[in-house]
Amino acid sequence: MDIQLVNSSHYFVYWTDVKEKSISRAMLSKQTSMMPTPTVETLVDTGLDFPDGLAVDRVTGNVYWTDMGLHRIQVRKLKIRLC
């Protein structure tokens, strides 16, 4: 799991899901009344076997993950957008 600050009031939470074999994120608000139900966005749901590690590079805008099933470190460019 990793967190990426979008602006002073919103941030993304990123996570891997071994059961669903996916990598996802959700935008959350520091004030829950502003965004009561976060929308989950699946970033990767193909080509994964056992995704278990994750890191967001805030400088390059990439998300990196390890897949223990495939013995790989992989990367994807992120697109930051406000909901």
Tens digits of residue pLDDT in 17-73: 999 999 999 988 877 665 567 789 999 999 999 999 999 998 888 999 999 999 999
SS in 3 state form for 16-83? EECCCCEEEEEEEECCCCCCCCCCEEEEECCCCCCEEEEEEECCCCEEEEEECCCCEEEEEECCCCCC
Please determine, for residue 82, whether its predicted confidence score (pLDDT) is greater than 50: no
Domains and CATH numbers, the chain: 2-77 (2.40.10)
Give pLDDT, residue 31: 72
Does the pTM exceed 0.85? no
Give pLDDT, residue 34: 59
Give pLDDT, residue 35: 58
